[in-house]
Amino acid sequence: MSEAIKALLRSMLGSLRDLMPIVLVIAFFQLVVLQEPLPNLASISLGLILVVTGLTFFIFGLEMGLFPIGETMAQAFAQKGSVAWLLLFSFCLGFGTTIAEPALTAVAAEAAEVAAEGGMIINQEESREEYADGLRLTVALSVGFAIVLGVLRIIKGWPIQYMIIGGYVGVVILTGFAPESIIGVAYDSGGVTTSTITVPLVTALGVGLASAIKGRNPMIDGFGLIAFASLLPMMFVMVYGMVVA
């Protein structure tokens, strides 16, 4: 128990250290450039404490739970030797983590509001919810397929650079055909999918799988799944925009 408390305190100090540059930048511009005192100093201080605490528990939880379980399950599937089950697990993991991303939910809801105001969809709550849900499902499906593609790359040893180049060529081509109103949303979708829930589990999956397969280097083959998870949503969302339009 004492070791766990020490590890938690070390994680808290690390979180405080990571946030310190942001605090210093805000303090400098507020006090030196704007030459004004910080408004609601007590509220800001309390908020900073909550951020440090939340970030600490989040990182500590990742290291204690999500990273180990992701690596363990990947290694277990690799040792089982069933590629079909591994690919199904990869798809479900990508889909499930993405559909639960708070950032994606927020972006999808905002996109639905803007689409309704711009006349792309009927400005009714039901239509906005349908559009937002469709966007979330599209992104989640794309991430599921992206993780499957990344896992196949690890299994087969395919070079990642050619796959990424080919993917971005596809993004550029689709940009020429997609409605202008969906392009920005599509590009942002690639970023919001790789957030707090998806990244830890997917990274652990890749590293664990590369560690379990003979002839694979975790540093070379274990990383790169996040790149696919950022790339495919852009393509899928642009296709979704063409279908909706």
Q: Which of 141, 17, 120 is nearest to 112 (CA)?
A: 120
Q: Which of 35-39, 112-116, 231-235 has the highest mean predicted lDDT (pLDDT)? A: 231-235
CA dist 111 and 183 (Å) reads 11
Q: Residue 145's pLDDT is what?
A: 95
Q: Residue 146's pLDDT is what?
A: 94
Burial of 191 (0-12, 13-18, 19+ CB in 10 A): middle
CA dist 15 and 19 (Å) reads 6
CA dist 135 and 112 (Å) reads 9
**Predicted TM-score of the model (pTM):** 0.78
H/E element holding 185?
helix 180-192
Q: Which of 87, 91, 96, 88 is nearest to 66 (CA)?
A: 96
Instruction: For residue range 153-205, list pLDDT tens digits in order.
Output: 998 888 999 999 999 999 999 999 998 888 998 998 888 877 777 787 788 88
Separation in Å, CA 192 to CA 104, 167, 173: 6, 18, 22
Q: Compute, in degrees rounded to 10, the torsion defined by CA atoms 86, 87, 88, 89.
A: 50
Residue identified by tokens 């639905």 is: 112
